Amino acid sequence: MPKFTFKRKIYAKMLEWKSESKGRTALLIEGARRIGKSTIVEEFAIREYETYILIDFNKASEEVKSLFDDLMDLDFIFLRLQAIFHKSLKSRNSVIIFDEVQKCPNARQAIKYLVADGRYDYIETGSLISIKKNTESITIPSEEDRLQMYPMDFEEFRWAMNDEVTIPTLSKFFERKLPLGAAFRTTMRGLRLYALVGGMPQAVVEYLETNDLRKVDAIKRKIIKLYTEDFLKLDPSGNVSKLFESIPAQLSRGANRYVTSSIIGKVGKAGENSLLQQLEDSKTVNVCYHCDDPNVGMALTQNQER
């Protein structure tokens, strides 16, 4: 079975970080689960560095995690990592990846001292990284440059379909205010396919391998199941999970606001705001706020009560 590594727009931003940072900051890539963070980071490490070490904190042993409890001897930490992962590190030409860093808060806190050491570059990935539960016990390092990653957009989807022509062509038609003509139907078919398959890399791979939309749908349902399981870990009451699962029904009503009380009852304004903040911090949803005056300074008139 071929391994798919899709072209992603975030790669150019990562190159920009490497060029401008020169080791002075770590890169934190945050986003929802299963959007391709780990894949693109490892691909970046393979292409842009001589060697790399990837620490997946979902699977890392307690021995590895405990290395970041005491930072008095960085030489010892680097030697242990090289021995454990059987990889050598080259000064200023190696990167250490902290995958799902929210699973080891001490590793994230250690970034301040690791970056100051200056020998290697550091890239962190995380989902639910902004959740208070994952950050309340540590000092968040200021030596982080953050990039937000999302599922594949329509252009990235077309790239995955081996089509790098459609979007630039559409842009030219738009700029010149010209009709698409016969190309309109083909373009709309592509857009409808994107709406059916979506932008989750795993779903795109399934479509390319099987051309079976039922299997694609099964993949997406599994991903949504993972999200709801994560929500239950964060909020055992199940309210965050209920809010997430009710989004399609809320949107289909055509109302201009999300009526939370119809889903979770009355939990008070503070409780409601806390639940919605957790949902937003999970990066699984896009929040749209009412704006009383949609002008240049939209944030000044953002109304969170509506």
- pLDDT value for 173: 93
The DSSP 8-state label assigned to residue 140 in this structure reads P
Measured between alpha carbons, how far is 15 from 13 in angstroms, rounded to an integer? 5
Bridge partners of residue 148, in order along the sequence? 30
Query: CA dist 292 to 257, 287, 289, 298, 304, Å?
Result: 14, 16, 10, 8, 10
State the pTM of this model. 0.91
Average pLDDT over residues 103-107: 94
Q: Which residue type sits at 68?
A: F
The HSE-up count of residue 38 (CA atoms within 13 Å, CB side) is 16
Dihedrals phi, psi of 130, to nearest 5 degrees: -90, -5
Closest CA relative to residue 224, chosen from 244, 195, 197, 199: 244
What residues does 202 pair with on adjacent strands? none
So what's the pLDDT on residue 3? 66
> Would you state the pLDDT for residue 83?
98
Inter-CA distances, 256 with 2, 41, 59, 221, 284, Å: 45, 38, 43, 27, 20
Measuring CA to CA, how many Å separate 166 from each of 6, 10, 162, 163, 287?
A: 17, 20, 10, 7, 29
Distance CA 169, CA 190 (A): 14
- Flag whether pLDDT at 1 surpasses 50: no
Strands 290-291 and 302-303: antiparallel
Judge whether residue 182 has pLDDT over 90.
Answer: no
Residue 43's pLDDT band (cuts 50, 70, 90): very high
Residue 128 is classified by DSSP as S
Residue pair 283/31 in contact by the 8 Å Cβ criterion: yes
Domains of the chain, start order: 10-148 (3.40.50.300), 152-216 (no CATH), 235-306 (no CATH)
Which pair of structure tokens corresponds to residue 298? 């939209």
Two structure tokens written together for 127: 């989902």
Q: What is the pLDDT of residues 112-157, one digit of tens each?
A: 999 999 999 999 999 876 666 667 778 889 999 999 999 999 999 9
Q: What is the mean pLDDT of the chain?
A: 92
Nearest-angstrom CA–CA distance, 303 and 306: 6
pLDDT at 108: 95
pLDDT digits (tens, 9 = 90+) for 255-280: 777 888 888 988 888 888 888 888 98
The yes-or-no verdict on residue 160 having pLDDT over 80 is yes
